A and B are shown apart, each in its own frame.
Chain A
Amino acid sequence: GAVVSQHPSRVICKSGTSVKIECRSLDFQATTMFWYRQFPKQSLMLMATSNEGSKATYEQGVEKDKFLINHASLTLSTLTVTSAHPEDSSFYICSAPYSGANVLTFGAGSRLTVL
């Protein structure tokens, strides 16, 4: 089946630094990927839609300068949390649609801790 690989699984950084998270579709091409954020014991909140070859579209309330998204190829999307602060600590999960427009397969997630 379709596999999405996400790295790193865990990252700890100091406040003010930037962190890059990679999301790769391993056995299929993904012109679109979705980035979600999940706080402990809460739901998956859609942050942005990553589009290969064009700018990402961000959900209301998500700072595009804070969360930089680059969809470099048909198999790779990256999320960079810039100038991270403790409130950015969260579980970030990417996903990509396969088998049609709706079915999503998820990456394993990246747990970011900002000290």
Chain B
Amino acid sequence: GENVEQHPSTLSVQEGDSAVIKCTYSDSASNYFPWYKQELGKRPQLIIDIRSNVGEKKDQRIAVTLNKTAKHFSLHITETQPEDSAVYFCAASIKGYGGATNKLIFGTGTLLAVQP
């Protein structure tokens, strides 16, 4: 089955610096890669996603890149702010067979701490 690896597990940056989180996946059929932000005790919130027909997507300070050949994708946060501190999860879709809905498999998470 699909295996999603995520690195680093923890990341500490100074306010204003950039942060990069990387993920790899194993199933070459995966075609959808979202990133979720989870603050302590709260639900995961979708922050950006990318589909396999696109190599890069940007939304203000957040960008995601995808390398299908290497099966890895990355989250880039620029000009980090203390409120960016949270756990970030990458995910990759698994095709649902027999008409079943695609499933998402999550990476292990990255705890980002932005120091003021």
Contact = CB atoms under 8 A, between A and B. Distances in A.
Interface of A: 31-32, 34, 36, 41-46, 49, 51, 57, 60, 93, 97, 101-109
B108 A43 contact: yes
B104 A34 contact: yes
Contacts of B108: 42-43
Contact of B103 (A46, A60, A105): A46
Given A43-B107, A44-B106, A102 B34 contact: yes
Contacts of A97: 101-102
4 cross-chain pairs, A with B, having the tightest CB-CB distances, nearest first: A32-B101, A106-B43, A102-B32, A44-B106
B101 A49 contact: yes
A76 B73 CA distance: 34
Residue from B43, B89, B111 with most neighbouring chain A CB atoms (10 Å): B43
Nearest to A97: B101
26 contacts: A32-B100, A32-B101, A34-B104, A36-B106, A41-B111, A42-B108, A43-B106, A43-B108, A46-B104, A46-B106, A57-B100, A93-B43, A93-B44, A97-B101, A102-B32, A102-B93, A102-B102, A103-B46, A104-B34, A104-B104, A106-B43, A106-B44, A107-B43, A108-B42, A108-B43, A109-B43
B104 A101 contact: no
Contacts of B105: 46
